[in-house]
Amino acid sequence: MKVYPNPANEQVTITTEQKNNYNIVITDVIGKVVFKSTLINKLEIQVKDWQAGFYYVQVISENGYKEVQKLIIE
């Protein structure tokens, strides 16, 4: 999974190498879900109205594989 740009202030793009169906969950540092969607290869998210800080991007595959990356919003 790639999350870019990071840090971001307008838009974030999430891409995966394989064109499978993934669930995307983005949480703040206390675990509150701020964004939830599905992804097939590429997803663009508008973050300009999000509060500045740290977030965690979770990509979860249909078979249960999970990858987490930190995202910084400026």
21-39 confidence digits (pLDDT tens):
999 999 999 999 999 999 9
Mean of pLDDT values over 52-59: 96
**pTM higher than the cut 0.75:** yes
What structural domains does the chain harbor?
Answer: 2-73 (2.60.40.3080)
Q: Could you give the residue ranges of the DSSP H alpha helices within the chain?
A: none
pLDDT band at 62 (very low <50, low <70, confident <90, very high): confident
